[in-house]
């Protein structure tokens, strides 16, 4: 398992080994959805906000 | 049930169409118009349920002899009500206005007076030439401009609850645009419309107190536009289907008494046919509650004074499907057409009632 | 709200009193009578809330200009509605009938034709001399005997839901008194009335599926009396405030087809203004559901055929406060007085609606 | 929260995988296994949420350090739990059994002993060669055959509630296969799983008493198979998320006393660690209620005698997600592996609690 | 169920009594202590249910072999938990402390450090000599002072939700005592306790959004005392049984970033075993929700930044019966007695779950 | 602690020591409300049914 830093809350995000660029993971601390932009070492960016399906 | 769409017509009546008739507020419009003495419903559109009876979707309208038809083929009517998602009306506004002398739109597409505001709060506006014609529906704010209007925009439900609660304080000068007001709104699941989604499935949505718009809710735009009031707005989803309840925390500059407040609210609403003041008193129902007005076009408005914190708490409770959309739309149409204001809107609430 | 008790009077109208006006069904009667074109409410009694406004207890009636008065001092009226607990009406029936030409009682006190049945199912009867005058209110069963009646007894809510579901099967001979029918009823908390108690507190009563009358429910007596049908009756409290839903499992002697069943139900209810048939079909609402009729005097009735088990499942769904009591009472009064049957009872249900 | 999937492992423990871990019963399995002293969860699959943390979907498991992975790449484990829709397990059963020495399946795919029954009640069976290996999970019925089993099929939730209520009457000979039993079940919305759909949106599903399977419910097949009892089965959706409550109306041939019934039920359940008898008595909770067992693996079972109708009413109340699926699965795995039966299943219910 | 009060005792354990064991928080204490590895419950008092089994009142504790006894005859124990209405503990504090070396009180009687505050916010204090001994229970605020304490006062539920939400902002200096904070709380019906009353009957309480304490709520006193923060506090009753959710609107003097906020909250709660941070992210559960923690001692805490309004919205969601009272009490007792902090408090929440 | 037999379900009811005639206890198994009609040895009878407060 590798780790990377969450850009939202700064905590360490545990990642699986066969990571691929473009994958979306969430931060286990703040829940932010993060995009893998590099793999060795892994770098995460905030993923484009998905539209909420909460309606209004 | 023997109610029939055709029965309703009378010599002095108006024909009506509901675009988006299979949705929640569209169904509510149909309920109101079917029971309205001056309207005859001649069309209700749905793409998904084309050719199905209205009762297939809305079990309370099983007695209505009407089938959904396509929004592509609009009938000529006196009044067209549009109950479609944001963006649809601005796209079709020309054909809507071709089809009807009066268009009443329930979406946000024509609510804000300035095109700029659509850039800031929404995804811009593609039919800005109609904005100048549009009148905000809420009669308590804009009654004078409704008669003869050709395009009416029903207010947002959360904005309506807030506007009704705060307007007397603004009009009476108790609160000014310099004071920040905190508005904490609680809403029911019908606000999300009929299209569903995972977060609004019954197991996930039941029993929540869920901050669904902690900040940045678009209705702030209406409050700025119509009340000239900067609001810190937060909306929570709570366990009910119908209802919107605004709790507004305001901090007047100077001292204010209960008498001042009663004066302000009575001044504002004494003659309003759809606003009840509920502020303290005894019994179980002492402040505005949405369940007491569910299914009706009524608004309960009230306040409490918190001298220790130099605070006024103002409350507004409505049914989002009625005073917050379909009822407000019919009320505004009544005013626009010179009908009795309360025509078709005399439903009384229920007591007791659960979580309507 | 500007509705006023006094406003309602018209030359051809009837005056009405509600004894037990602070209770749940009493409040519902007031809601209906206030909106009824032919009635003027002149009195609502309460001992606990004497001199308080009706709106103190019933927030939906805040606009009504009427205060509770003592049941000791009854006004002379055309129609007296009694919405008091079992036993109260039989005690006061002489003064009720002195005060009004027509008494409509919502309790069980005059529902059963035979005094013996009161010994068996209740605590006996102390005014048996009035039993012969009493007519069972449910027009779908007893319309012919209502005109001119002087004492009318509204049916029990669970019995009403069951009677409406089963009557077509009995009338058509599909089910006979030799076949045992299992009736499983689900009811809302308003059935318990306003007086409360620990088991009906919100924390204890919320979300239940509670067998509150597993056996021996008193409404079996009405089913025997009016349908001549022995029923194995079980009642469950479920999470809703308004509503009673009867699921009846019947085992006809011979084979029966869906066509037979549709024939029986259409024959029974084709011309009934308040009964909708809902039996299969498409969409979300395929069988009777209480929430679709909440707040209205409508009954949804339907059925399903289970050939494998040689079973017919019959359903009846009503609002216990309306078709199950106050609405049925007003309906019967309309028939008794020669008014339009649907007068004051044209409320439509809501869609969507939560747990009303 | 500091619970971590890795922390759980112990020398004498078992590794476990949950296929369908993002679903409702899959999440419940994870909750149970994470708190189980003998299991270590090494995999939870989801296609939709691959790479997301388990806590993204299940907020109660935010502390779990585990991400969903693809069901295409199964880890080798001691026990594989499958919580997938009907049909998925029979399709993948070979790879499931390759991956694990013990497969516990929550779907109906291996519940019925005879392949024929799948043709009659489901869409046939495509892996019939495994049927002979499968053991029905419910220990109260089949404890003796579980130790050493390699394929276990958890019972249906409605069938489980009914089986537990009726089995003592069958075993004691009070009811025989010649007597028809009417079973009227009330269930919560989690029975429908996480995939949603319009009828299970919050506005449509709230507050219902909805006959969702009036006849022909597939769980009849399990009752015939395991109790040899023909049942007339009807299922209603009611307002709750968790819970299944079966009310069984049985008509014994000869007379039966309360003592006989207590004897039968005590005989059946005296030593059962997860069954509580609740039959009359005092207070608010006199008969089985699902909300009292929500979140637990307990079943409440009880009865009432109706001498007038020569009827016994038997009740069974469970949490469909626990005793009705995930809890039953873990219980059976405990028995199969020779662990303490109650290991990981000692949750107590809540009081008061709303509509869990 | 085979749990027995006697079984629990171990050589190194503590005996416990619950005064007010028939109430809501008293029952919750019993649930926790019965499952706690280090406690043995030897007494639960009730005047109304003396001699009845604990399971008569609390259906989840039917397996417990214990009967209520009179509070007049207290057993000698290691720890006495008092779950009685305000005023009862101050009246009996001497006998409580005689009976036990450690008294944990759930009422407000010993929460405030200053006797004066009781005159201002309550009806004065009659045992002021004990105030100096009392420690506020909330370990997140007062962990250091708990070991060895002899009198512990569990915090108020609404105060606890607010304190947990706001404390990181105060500690980090984001908010100071000069800034007014608006706190809008939503609570479930179990906050009212078991004694009921008309407004908390199921028909009246269901589905409400009811401003039950618009101003002047007593928990303001705790916020002033322990956070040194003036709060404009408003409490609404909403449809749930368990749960308290605080939404705090704070207006920092200077600009603040999301990073600052994450820093403040992680600093405060990184090592706390019972606090989860939930602030944005994806999926359905993005901010604190009471239903996700129902039945557990967990608190969800989170925030959102509203740059337009220079506002921070802070959220705290707890189960009022757990982290808001009984769970907090047991947590504090664990700390006071040198036990594992999480002992007996490892319940996980449920997903999905309705309105618990 | 003494024991007596429940007349409703036949199970053993655990009783406290200073039992008095007329006290009402409930059976821990079936929940029936039982009246103490004798104390040595203890004898229990079904207590008069309390009216349900469930309404209708
Ligand atoms: N719900 C509330 O409480 C509330 C309150 C205030 C304002 N509003 C506003 O009212 C409007 C309707 O809301 P709702 O809740 O009723 O929504 P809804 O239940 O989702 O209904 C939307 C309706 O519009 C139709 N529709 C969707 N896209 C369309 C298109 N491109 N062309 C024509 N018809 C289309 C849909 O039917 P088909 O797809 O079958 O054609 C459906 O009948 C929205 O703008 C909403 O913001 C709602
Ligand atoms: N709730 C239902 O769904 C339903 C359905 C069908 C039939 N019913 C029947 O309708 C009747 C009323 O039920 P409810 O649910 O409305 O009951 P409720 O809410 O308890 O109301 C009872 C009313 O009767 C009054 N009252 C009580 N005792 C009285 C007395 N001795 N003299 C005069 N007034 C008295 C009470 O007011 P004060 O105490 O202030 O005077 C109150 O207004 C009952 O007989 C019930 O069986 C009810
Ligand atoms: N809900 C209950 O109360 C209950 C009670 C008794 C028995 N059961 C049975 O338990 C099973 C699961 O029910 P549920 O309610 O938990 O359903 P659910 O919430 O819909 O979950 C289904 C799960 O299966 C996964 N899945 C779906 N199709 C799959 C496929 N082809 N291959 C691999 N994974 C697949 C889904 O995740 P992805 O799509 O992300 O992979 C999801 O995790 C069903 O067979 C049901 O009959 C349920
Ligand atoms: N409910 C909550 O969420 C919550 C949260 C935080 C704090 N609290 C506090 O916790 C305390 C208990 O609340 P609750 O909700 O559990 O109340 P409750 O349900 O009303 O229970 C009160 C208990 O106290 C007993 N009792 C009442 N008066 C007594 C007296 N004079 N002497 C001895 N026992 C007496 C009652 O039983 P008998 O009458 O049978 O003796 C009952 O067991 C209150 O101080 C409350 O403010 C409650
Ligand atoms: Zn993060
Ligand atoms: Zn017993």
* Nearest of B259, B228, B93 to residue B166 by alpha carbon: B228
Ligand 1 atom 1 nearest Cα: B191
User: What per-residue confidence (pLDDT) applies to C82?
Assistant: 98
Touch C-D: 3+ C-beta pairs under 8 A: yes
Share of chain E above pLDDT 70, in %: 97
The verdict on the CB of residue C190 being under 6 Å from ligand 2 is yes
- The mean pLDDT value of chain E amounts to 94
Q: Are A14 and D62 a contacting pair at CB < 8 A?
A: no
Query: Which mutation among E18, E19, E25, E356 tests ligand 4's pocket best, with the greatest number of atoms within 8 A of CB?
Result: E25
Chain D residue closest in CA terms to A17: D51
Chain D residue closest in CA terms to C217: D306
CA distance B200 to chain D (A): 6
* Nearest of F35, F44, F40, F36 to residue F12 by alpha carbon: F44
∠B113-B116-B120 over CA atoms, to 5°?
Answer: 115
Q: Are D55 and A31 a contacting pair at CB < 8 A?
A: yes
User: What per-residue confidence (pLDDT) applies to D7?
Assistant: 40
User: What per-residue confidence (pLDDT) applies to D196?
Assistant: 80
CATH class of C5-154+322-336: alpha beta
Q: How confident is the model at residue A49 (pLDDT cuts 50, 70, 90)?
A: low
Q: CA D56 to CA D341: how far, in whole Å?
A: 31
Q: Please tell me the distance between residue D90's alpha carbon and the centre of ligand 3 in angstroms.
A: 13
Chain C residue closest in CA terms to D304: C214
Q: Is C24 within 8 Å of chain E by CB? A: yes
Which numbered ligand comes closest to the C-alpha of C323?
Answer: 2
Which residues lie closer than 8 Å to D154 by C-beta, 6 or more apart? D104, D105, D106, D111, D137, D138, D325, D326, D328, D329, D332
Q: Does the pLDDT at position C150 exceed 70?
A: yes
Q: Does the pLDDT at position D120 exceed 70?
A: yes
Q: Is C338 within 8 Å of chain B by CB? A: no
Q: Please tell me the distance between residue A27's alpha carbon and the centre of ligand 5 in angstroms.
A: 5
Share of chain E above pLDDT 90, in %: 90
User: What per-residue confidence (pLDDT) applies to D169?
Assistant: 97
C248 annotated active-site: no
- Tell me the range of C335-349, D221-235, E168-182, F12-26 where mean pLDDT is highest: C335-349
* Nearest of B206, B287, B216, B269 to residue B241 by alpha carbon: B206
What is the domain count for chain A?
A: 1
User: What is each CA distance from B343 to B25, B273, B297, B337, C151, in whole angstroms?
Assistant: 18, 11, 11, 11, 36
Q: Does the pLDDT at position F51 exceed 60?
A: no
CATH code for position A24: 2.20.28.160
Q: CA C237 to CA E252: how far, in whole Å?
A: 50
Q: Are F25 and E51 a contacting pair at CB < 8 A?
A: yes
Assess whether the region C5-154+322-336 and the region C157-318 belong to the same CATH fold.
no
Q: Average the pLDDT over each of C121-125, C164-168, D93-97, E335-339 and give the range with the smallest value.
A: C121-125
Q: Are D285 and E27 a contacting pair at CB < 8 A?
A: no
Q: Does the pLDDT at position D97 exceed 60?
A: yes
- Which one of D204, D304, D313 has the shortest CB-CB distance to C284? D204
Contact list, E283 vs chain A (CB under 8 Å): 26, 31
Q: Please tell me the distance between residue D192's alpha carbon and the centre of ligand 3 in angstroms.
A: 9
Q: Are C202 and E241 a contacting pair at CB < 8 A?
A: yes
Touch D-E: 3+ C-beta pairs under 8 A: yes
Which numbered ligand comes closest to the C-alpha of F13?
Answer: 6
Residues, beta carbon < 5 Å, ion ligand 5: A 6, 8-9, 27, 29-30, 32
User: What per-residue confidence (pLDDT) applies to A1?
Assistant: 62
The verdict on the CB of residue E107 being under 6 Å from ligand 4 is yes
Contact list, B212 vs chain A (CB under 8 Å): 52, 54
Q: CA E179 to CA E229: how far, in whole Å?
A: 8
Q: Is B84 within 8 Å of chain D by CB? A: no
Ligand 2 atom 47 nearest Cα: C107
Helix intervals (H) in chain B: 24-34, 54-57, 88-99, 115-121, 139-142, 157-171, 202-205, 219-227, 258-269, 290-293, 327-337
Q: Does the pLDDT at position A53 exceed 70?
A: no
- Which one of C191, C199, C237 has the shortest CB-CB distance to F53? C199
Q: Average the pLDDT over each of C226-230, D269-273, E32-36 and give the range with the smallest value.
A: C226-230
Q: What is the mean pLDDT of residues E325-350?
A: 98
Query: Which mutation among E43, E47, E52, E84 tests ligand 4's pocket best, with the greatest number of atoms within 8 A of CB?
Result: E84
Beta D100-105 vs D77-82: how paired, if at all? parallel
CA distance E200 to chain C (A): 6
Q: Where are the domains positioned within chain E?
A: 5-154+322-336, 157-318
CATH architecture of the domain formed by C157-318:
2-Layer Sandwich (3.30)
Catalytic residue among E74, E80, E149, E157: E157
User: What is each CA distance from E232 to A48, B248, C96, E118, E163, in whole angstroms?
Assistant: 37, 12, 54, 19, 14
Q: Are C199 and F52 a contacting pair at CB < 8 A?
A: yes
Helix intervals (H) in chain E: 24-34, 54-57, 88-99, 115-121, 139-142, 157-171, 202-205, 219-227, 258-269, 290-293, 327-337
Interface of C with F in 230-289 (CB under 8 A): 237
Touch B-F: 3+ C-beta pairs under 8 A: no
- Residues in chain B where the model's pLDDT stays below 70: 1-12
CA distance D337 to chain F (A): 31
Q: Please tell me the distance between residue F28's alpha carbon and the centre of ligand 6 in angstroms.
A: 7
- The mean pLDDT value of chain B amounts to 94
**Structural domain contains residue A33:** yes
Ligand 3 atom 14 nearest Cα: D193
Three-state secondary-structure class, residue B174: coil
Q: Does the pLDDT at position A52 exceed 90?
A: no
* Nearest of D348, D343, D346, D347 to residue D39 by alpha carbon: D343
Interface test with D, best of B188, B189, B197, B201 (most D CBs within 10 A): B201
Q: Average the pLDDT over each of D319-323, E70-74, E120-124, E134-138 and give the range with the smallest value.
A: E120-124
Q: Are A53 and B199 a contacting pair at CB < 8 A?
A: yes
Query: Which mutation among D17, D19, D83, D299 tests ligand 3's pocket best, with the greatest number of atoms within 8 A of CB?
Result: D83
Q: Which residues line ligand 3 (CB under 6 A)?
A: D 20-26, 46-49, 71, 83-86, 88, 106-107, 156-157, 190-191, 193-195, 320-321, 324-325
* pLDDT, tens digit, 9 for 90 and up, residues E150-172: 999 999 999 999 999 999 999 99
The verdict on the CB of residue B327 being under 6 Å from ligand 1 is no
User: What is each CA distance from D130 to D92, D122, D143, D232, D334, in whole angstroms?
Assistant: 12, 17, 20, 30, 22
Q: How confident is the model at residue A16 (pLDDT cuts 50, 70, 90)?
A: confident
User: What is each CA distance from C266 to C293, C302, D130, in whole angstroms?
Assistant: 20, 10, 50
* Nearest of E280, A52, D57, D26 to residue B197 by alpha carbon: A52
Longest pairwise C-alpha distance within chain C = 62
Q: What is the mean pLDDT of residues C72-82?
A: 98
Q: Does the pLDDT at position C10 exceed 50?
A: no
Eight-class DSSP state of C199? G
Query: Which residue range is the domain that position F38 belongs to?
Result: 2-46
Share of chain C above pLDDT 70, in %: 97
* pLDDT, tens digit, 9 for 90 and up, residues C286-325: 999 999 999 999 999 999 999 988 999 999 999 999 999 9
What is the atom index within ligand 2 of the atom nearest the CA of C92?
32
What is the atom index within ligand 3 of the atom nearest the CA of D71?
33
């Amino acid at each position: 398992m590798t780790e990377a830093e969450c850009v939202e809350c700064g905590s360490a995000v545990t990642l699986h080994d066969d990571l691929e660029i473009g994958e979306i993971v969430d931060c286990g601390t703040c829940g932010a959805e993060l995009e893998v932009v590099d793999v060795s070492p892994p770098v995460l960016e905030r993923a484009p906000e998905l539209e909420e399906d909460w309606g209004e | 049930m023997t109610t029939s769409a055709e029965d309703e017509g009378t010599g002095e009546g108006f024909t009506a169409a509901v675009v988006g008739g299979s949705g929640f507020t569209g169904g509510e419009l149909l309920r109101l118009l079917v029971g309205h003495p001056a309207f005859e419903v001649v069309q209700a559109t749905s793409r998904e349920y084309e050719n199905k009876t209205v009762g297939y979707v809305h079990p309370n309208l099983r007695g209505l002899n009407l089938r959904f038809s396509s929004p592509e083929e609009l009938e000529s009517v006196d009044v067209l009500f549009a109950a479609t998602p944001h963006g649809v009306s601005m796209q079709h506004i020309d054909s809507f206005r071709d089809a009807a002398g009066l268009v009443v739109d329930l979406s946000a597409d024509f609510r804000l007076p300035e095109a700029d505001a659509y850039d800031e709060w929404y995804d811009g506006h593609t039919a800005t030439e109609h904005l100048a014609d549009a009148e905000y529906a809420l009669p308590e704010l804009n009654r004078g401009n409704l008669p003869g209007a050709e395009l009416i925009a029903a207010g947002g439900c959360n904005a309506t609850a807030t506007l009704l609660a705060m307007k007397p304080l603004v009009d009476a000068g108790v609160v000014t645009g310099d004071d920040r007001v905190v508005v904490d709104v609680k809403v029911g699941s019908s606000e999300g419309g009929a299209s569903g989604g995972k977060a609004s499935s019954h197991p996930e949505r039941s029993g929540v107190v869920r901050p669904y718009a902690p900040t940045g809710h678009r209705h702030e735009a209406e409050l700025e536009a119509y009340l000239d009031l900067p609001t810190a707005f937060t909306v929570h989803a709570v366990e009910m289907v119908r209802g919107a309840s605004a709790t507004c925390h305001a901090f007047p500059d100077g001292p204010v008494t209960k008498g001042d407040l009663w004066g302000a609210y009575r001044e504002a609403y004494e003659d309003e046919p759809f606003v009840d003041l509920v502020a303290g008193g005894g019994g179980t129902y002492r402040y505005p509650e949405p369940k007491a007005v569910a299914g009706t076009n009524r608004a309960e408005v009230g306040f409490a004074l918190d001298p220790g914190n130099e605070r006024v708490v103002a409350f507004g409770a409505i049914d989002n499907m009625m005073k917050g959309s379909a009822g407000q739309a019919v009320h505004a149409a009544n005013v626009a057409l010179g009908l009795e204001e309360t025509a078709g809107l005399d439903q009384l609430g229920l007591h007791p009632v659960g979580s309507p």
